[in-house]
Structure 1
Amino acid sequence: MSRARVTTARAVGVVVVALVLSACAGIPSSGPVTKVAAADDLGQSAVRYTPARPLAGASPEQIVRGYLDAMLAFPASSRTAASFLTPQAARGWKPATQVRIYSQPEVAGVQAAPDGGSAAGSDGSVTVRLGFTDDARLDRQGRYTGVEAPGSITYTLEQVDGQWRIADPQDGLLVNQKFFTDYFRSFDLYFFDRPGRRLVPDPVYLVVGDQLATTLTASLAGGPAADAQTATRTFMPARTALRPSVPVSSQGVADVEFTDDFSDLSTSSQDRLSAQLVWTLRQVPGVQAVQVVGGSTALTAGGDEVQPVQAWGGFGPSTARDRAYAVVDDRVVEADDGEVEPVSGAWGQDARGAERIAVAQSGIAGVLPGGDAVRLTSRQGKQARTIRGDGFVGPDWDSDDLLWLVDRPSGQVRVRVAEDDDVTVVPAPGLAGLGITDFKLSPDGARYAVSTRGQDGRALYVGRVVRDATDRIASLQDPARVATTARSPRSASWASTTELAFLGDSEVGAQIYQVTIDGSETTSQVSRSGSLLPDVGADTLAIGQDRSPLLYVTDRRRRLWFLPPGGSWRLLDTPPTTALTIGR
């Protein structure tokens, strides 16, 4: 996360909290990673820990070990850690630049001089090597990057008033995997797409505690990531304009103040600034409303200066209810609580052999046998037209009811969007060489996900949808591979705006997993549902978004399975199922 600009001497604790951001899961190493706490447990009552300051006469190795321990303070503070540094190093140390998450630390002891002589340098200094496994890193705003590689740091220690102190600390903090698991949780920063129409979440990781409202706001003020700036934008002023703290009153009102005067902002910009703050701060336990003031100008929602956390819902993703659809006995059916009924209109009578389908309020599209044509009609099956191609994967409707089509002419991936009578190619150079098997748009239309199959096996990728200022689709940013501990991930769809659900192999057959798009956490749906999917060779997954109870799969024998809320997997008595999807 980022943080309000504040002097090191005055608020190093706040800076550390703002830097040390994170999620409720351990770092994946092998096998599915499961959460150690409920999704709504933000650890506000977590055990407090005040580390010891340096002991008189401590050896160089003891100083390094004490320094590592001091960075595990909770509530987060770097004051004690700074006491293990020389005065000059403490003044120049930058604990807020990043967080490195490690495991298996080894302090090697005082290093010998290269010529085999004394370990002490000519100035009386010594060096101590710290080895560890570098599991992951969080940037200044808390964005997660997996590393999982050997790491090491060599510290130089000097005598200060007869005591050893570290003269060259690393930038940022070092925290072990247990601290990360116990005290970090996942949050979203909300920015806008380029047209300023949709709020787009950006997952980050923050240490929990009383300063959460402050650190979330400061991180939001840091703006979108560099690689996201062609697709997203912010209406927040810079961190330098943000007051040092965001207090929360006993009535649950978060008070956000800026030095900039907002009177010069347009009404549109004021509304979007408010929306970013309200959507971001609504994640803080106990916050019921947000008050935003810039100079002498208070921003409002519906004329009210105290903006409730329910405000600005229109900037979020569609709230239309997810529905499961399938092709059963060559008819498009809707599956509801384990019961299937044909949809009204022509598709409910004859699906024309469709191998894959996409269903929205505005229409139905199906990939015809052979995969070289898509039939597109209204919901009732009227205004039919056929779009030709080569090797279509499943089509998908976005939140604006535009139909996305992906095929592979000449073996190269092509992305097109169908709107009214127009079919437009969307530049997507980063997809060209991928063996795409599934393509899905996120609920907010801001990202896309693809499942792929290639020489290196199966994988998941996520990228951003770029729109121009008029809200026309401009391109797809190159996708990034999503790290997951599940084997052979496939049939991915969006479980939320920042999480994918997919099928993956396990020792008991294919199961359903969920992964955060930054790869920080893979969880098994068994932990959510309590029910193991039978080993039936699950082939296609349809899962509702945001904890929707919808959960269906097809298997290798084209049978349809359903998991009712709180129940066990049930085989539905239907004819062969040849397609399965989630629609509206």
Structure 2
Amino acid sequence: MMRLRSIRRLIAGGLAVAVVSGCAGIPSSGPVTKVADDGGLGQSAVRYAPARPLPGATPEQIVRGYLDAMLAFPASSRTASAFLTRRAARDWVSSSQVRIYSGPEVGGALDVDGRPSAAEDPSEPVKVRLGFTEAARLDRQGRYARRAVPAALTYTLQQVKGEWRITDPQDGLLVNEKFFTDYFRSFDLYFFDRPGRRLVPDPVYLVVGDQLATTLLTSLAGGPAPDSVESMRTYVPPRTGLRPSVPVSDDGVADVEFTDDLADATDTARDHLSAQVVWTLRQAPGVEGVRLLGGDTALTAGGDEIQPVQAWGGYGPSTARGRTYAVVENRVAEIDDGRIIPISGRWGKNARGAELVAVSQSGVAGVLPGDDAVRVTSRDGSAPLTVGGNDFIEPDWDSDGRLWLVDRAAGGTRVRVVSDQQQVQIAVPGLARLDVTSFKISPDDTRYAVTAGRRMYVGEVVRDVKDQVLGLGLPSRVFTTVSGPRAASWSSPTELSFLGDSQAGVQIYQVQIDGSRTTSEVARSGSLLPDVRARGLAIAQGGTGTLHVSDARRRLWYLPRGGSWRMIDTPPATGLSYGR
């Protein structure tokens, strides 16, 4: 058995702050205590134990107390169930979803005919209306969907042994925005693409705490989202075959057990199952390795029954170092901080007037003058291929050496894939109607991102089991709080960087692909981009390395790590891009 690093020491928590502060109309009774550790995930360091129903509470007070009880941390529905009738508590599925709200308003009690009720007759039920703004919703596995719509629920209450109790709780939990901000964090569930070659991260929001490893694996066992079945698959047995908890030992080993015997599973299936579990659980603080059992069968990584969290890296995105490129004085050049270095080969001597280029280890592609043709060659400029079209935008290479070309055809936006001197037009339902201005394939080759009409969209790359690209899935709009998003580029498999408008001019922002969070590059680097009307963006994946932008005057700017923005003294440049 390999030796593992011990669990990282827990970080001391900050000052206790009541979870329910700022939640209008909801009482904050119940003990609040400080947690010794925030788990290293930056969450609130406060435990909150809500009060149980008080004797003689009115229907309105019961509803308010019920809402408060759902804000318990560590997360538990036990106290909330005390506000329900026995039958309602038994039937309530608190784990089915999470609705995130603001501005709750509890109305007065009404009788069954909708008239104000004095609630004096214990034999008669009453109704209490709860109005709120629903900010977002999480499904059973934690996938985020923005809502931002007015909503309302009407609870029916009846007396049980002289006390009012709710008979019809809503599906799932209701939590306020402060609770969501304090205690939920973004994680990735890992599934495979259809060929089984690539791990695909699926972002979710889960409550942090001691049970995080269990929650992560339970969500993973729920499988891919229904709208992703054409592009994702899982090797993890369903929830019904999962032991109820994933304990983590003092030396950082997470024990995962499935009731299904995996003795007859193929080596490929075992490896894929292990990869999904290890990549998902390694996000839990303190987990250094995974012991995985299926019945009496232990799964291994390299012969070790304790699989280290670094295992199965070959299924992840390429870690090859990328570089920034641009066209300067009709030559394709690498931009290394403040230096301009023409690439080797023919493109470094003559770009043939191209102003848009894409560079990778696989080759170079340049959009020729007039935007009606793309010249594709090997990296040194040999084996040329010319692809005709109309109004090409910047091409993009994926990590498998495929070139993606987007232009306009009679039916709208067209996408073609070039590989081994062959070009294939693929199906793009929903994308054809968009006036696409930028197109990028994710670092793991499983998704695409486009900007169109000053909006951003993300969709999935659909492949068959032989890894042939079949088409692109339907695009979903990515919500952001920033106006005019453009020049979107992948900074990780689940995050986009882009240019957007601000009071200080065009700045760089990042957004999660589920639209749950938008952040500013200023917050990361502390450096404000000068108001130069930035047009192009080149950013390293993973947020490492130097940032580059081009402006309206075709000047290049760069931001070294830990530094401030500087202009590169160079002739006018076009076609700023990031590649390998």
- The TM-score with structure 2 as length reference comes to 0.92
Aligned to 1:536: 532
Aligned to 1:472: 468
Separation (CA, whole Å) in 2 of partners of 1:104 and 1:251: 44
Identity between Structure 1 and Structure 2 (%): 66
Aligned to 1:49: 48
Aligned to 2:101: 102
1:378-432 deviations in Å (ceiling 9; x for gaps): 1111111211111111110011010011110126111111111210011112111
Paired residue for 2:484, among 485, 488, 509?
Answer: 488
2:522 is the counterpart of 1:526: yes
Separation (CA, whole Å) in 1 of partners of 2:144 and 2:183: 15
1:142-179 deviations in Å (ceiling 9; x for gaps): 00000000011111111011111111100100000000
Aligned to 1:514: 510
2:368 is the counterpart of 1:406: no
- Note if contact 1:43-1:208 (Cα within 8 Å) is conserved in structure 2: no
Separation (CA, whole Å) in 2 of partners of 1:81 and 1:379: 63
Q: Helix, strand or coil for the counterpart of 1:196?
A: coil
2:276 is the counterpart of 1:280: no
Aligned to 1:70: 69
Aligned CA-pair RMSD? 1.4
1:45 CA drift (Å): 6.9
- Residue type of the partner of 1:48? R
- Residue type of the partner of 1:250? D
1:221-246 deviations in Å (ceiling 9; x for gaps): 00000000110000001110100000
1:74-104 deviations in Å (ceiling 9; x for gaps): 0000000000011111111110100000001
Matches within 5 A, 1:432-447: 432-447=432-447
**1:163–1:374 distance in 2 versus 1, CA, 3 Å:** same
Aligned to 2:546: 550
- Note if contact 1:358-1:583 (Cα within 8 Å) is conserved in structure 2: yes
Q: Helix, strand or coil for the counterpart of 1:515?
A: strand
Separation (CA, whole Å) in 2 of partners of 1:192 and 1:527: 33
1:338 CA drift (Å): 2.4
1:5-33 deviations in Å (ceiling 9; x for gaps): xxxxxxxxxxxxxxxxxxxxxxxxxxxxx
2:564 is the counterpart of 1:565: no
Separation (CA, whole Å) in 1 of partners of 2:310 and 2:76: 33
- Residue type of the partner of 1:513? Y
The count of residues paired between Structure 1 and Structure 2 equals 542
Aligned to 1:222: 222
Separation (CA, whole Å) in 2 of partners of 1:205 and 1:197: 26
1:363 CA drift (Å): 0.4
Q: Helix, strand or coil for the counterpart of 1:488?
A: coil
Separation (CA, whole Å) in 1 of partners of 2:129 and 2:157: 11
1:547 CA drift (Å): 1.7
Q: Helix, strand or coil for the counterpart of 1:354?
A: coil
Choose 361-370 or 115-124, whichever is displaced more: 115-124
Separation (CA, whole Å) in 1 of partners of 2:266 and 2:547: 45
Q: Helix, strand or coil for the counterpart of 2:46?
A: coil
- Note if contact 1:113-1:119 (Cα within 8 Å) is conserved in structure 2: no
1:330 CA drift (Å): 1.4
Matches within 5 A, 1:64-213: 64-111=63-110, 114=113, 116=115, 118=117, 123-213=123-213
Aligned to 2:244: 244
**1:92–1:573 distance in 2 versus 1, CA, 3 Å:** same
Separation (CA, whole Å) in 2 of partners of 1:445 and 1:81: 44
- Note if contact 2:385-2:421 (Cα within 8 Å) is conserved in structure 1: no
Aligned to 2:35: none
**1:40–1:295 distance in 2 versus 1, CA, 3 Å:** closer
- Note if contact 1:191-1:233 (Cα within 8 Å) is conserved in structure 2: yes
- Residue type of the partner of 1:81? A
Q: Helix, strand or coil for the counterpart of 1:190?
A: strand
Aligned to 2:26: none
**1:44–1:263 distance in 2 versus 1, CA, 3 Å:** farther
1:111 CA drift (Å): 2.5
1:510-543 deviations in Å (ceiling 9; x for gaps): 0101110000011111100101111110001111
1:117 CA drift (Å): 6.9
Q: Helix, strand or coil for the counterpart of 1:270?
A: helix
Aligned to 2:260: 260
Paired residue for 1:576, among 560, 572, 578?
Answer: 572
- Residue type of the partner of 1:488? G
Q: Helix, strand or coil for the counterpart of 1:566?
A: coil
- Note if contact 1:449-1:492 (Cα within 8 Å) is conserved in structure 2: yes
1:304-359 deviations in Å (ceiling 9; x for gaps): 11100000000000010121111111111111122221111111111111121111
Aligned to 2:57: 58
- Note if contact 1:252-1:289 (Cα within 8 Å) is conserved in structure 2: yes
2:497 is the counterpart of 1:501: yes
Separation (CA, whole Å) in 2 of partners of 1:115 and 1:74: 36
Q: Helix, strand or coil for the counterpart of 2:47?
A: coil
- Note if contact 1:323-1:550 (Cα within 8 Å) is conserved in structure 2: no
Separation (CA, whole Å) in 2 of partners of 1:116 and 1:573: 76
- Note if contact 1:536-1:555 (Cα within 8 Å) is conserved in structure 2: yes
**1:79–1:569 distance in 2 versus 1, CA, 3 Å:** same
Aligned to 2:17: none
Q: Helix, strand or coil for the counterpart of 1:214?
A: helix
Separation (CA, whole Å) in 1 of partners of 2:109 and 2:442: 53
Separation (CA, whole Å) in 2 of partners of 1:115 and 1:576: 71
Q: Helix, strand or coil for the counterpart of 2:543?
A: coil
Separation (CA, whole Å) in 1 of partners of 2:510 and 2:415: 26
- Note if contact 1:261-1:297 (Cα within 8 Å) is conserved in structure 2: yes
2:351 is the counterpart of 1:351: yes
- Note if contact 1:110-1:127 (Cα within 8 Å) is conserved in structure 2: yes
**1:356–1:40 distance in 2 versus 1, CA, 3 Å:** farther
Structure 2 unaligned residues grouped into runs of 5+: 1-37
- The TM-score with structure 1 as length reference comes to 0.91
- Residue type of the partner of 2:102? S
Separation (CA, whole Å) in 1 of partners of 2:276 and 2:424: 32
Separation (CA, whole Å) in 2 of partners of 1:494 and 1:157: 50
- Note if contact 1:375-1:387 (Cα within 8 Å) is conserved in structure 2: yes
Separation (CA, whole Å) in 1 of partners of 2:272 and 2:82: 43
Separation (CA, whole Å) in 2 of partners of 1:275 and 1:47: 34
1:15-59 deviations in Å (ceiling 9; x for gaps): xxxxxxxxxxxxxxxxxxxxxxxx994147721110000111111
Separation (CA, whole Å) in 1 of partners of 2:60 and 2:135: 23
Aligned to 2:7: none
- Residue type of the partner of 1:555? D
1:156-207 deviations in Å (ceiling 9; x for gaps): 1110111111111001000000000000000000000001000000000000
1:73 CA drift (Å): 0.4
**1:487–1:115 distance in 2 versus 1, CA, 3 Å:** closer
**1:448–1:82 distance in 2 versus 1, CA, 3 Å:** same
**1:114–1:108 distance in 2 versus 1, CA, 3 Å:** same
Q: Helix, strand or coil for the counterpart of 2:48?
A: coil
- Note if contact 1:43-1:209 (Cα within 8 Å) is conserved in structure 2: no
- Note if contact 1:184-1:206 (Cα within 8 Å) is conserved in structure 2: yes
Q: Helix, strand or coil for the counterpart of 1:341?
A: strand
Q: Helix, strand or coil for the counterpart of 1:413?
A: strand
- Note if contact 2:110-2:117 (Cα within 8 Å) is conserved in structure 1: no
Separation (CA, whole Å) in 1 of partners of 2:211 and 2:204: 16
- Residue type of the partner of 1:430? G
- Note if contact 1:102-1:133 (Cα within 8 Å) is conserved in structure 2: yes
Q: Helix, strand or coil for the counterpart of 2:214?
A: helix
- Note if contact 1:44-1:209 (Cα within 8 Å) is conserved in structure 2: no
